[in-house]
Amino acid sequence: MIDGSLWRVVVTGRAEGELKRLTPKDQGRIRSAIDTLATGPGGDLRKLRGREAEWRLRVGDWRVRFRIDFTARVVVVLRVLPRGSAYRN
């Protein structure tokens, strides 16, 4: 699907704020998973139905919602939420 060259990863202010409210352990795991997106989106990814170009990355009980711009090679992290509320708007 995606080659191994580098991608730019942008974390929105909203997602950064959600990350900062987590425990240091969860922050580290999620930031590490987000960093791996720079080598090309991979891991436990799934395209979200009903949302234009929006994907989710599963990190334990947490979900990272993001958009991929394949042309510009940019991943924009939109939200970091617990599994139970990750798919409600």
| pLDDT tens profile 61-89 | 999 999 988 889 899 999 999 988 777 76
Which tokens belong to 59? 């990190």
The Cα–Cα gap between 8 and 37 comes to 8
The Cα–Cα gap between 51 and 33 comes to 22
Q: Which DSSP helix (H) or strand (E) runs through 31?
A: helix 24-36
8-85 falls under which CATH superfamily?
A: RelE-like (3.30.2310.20)
Strand pairing of 74-82 and 62-69?
A: antiparallel
- Give residue 49's pLDDT: 87
SS3 for 2?
coil
52 vs 64: which has the higher pLDDT: 64
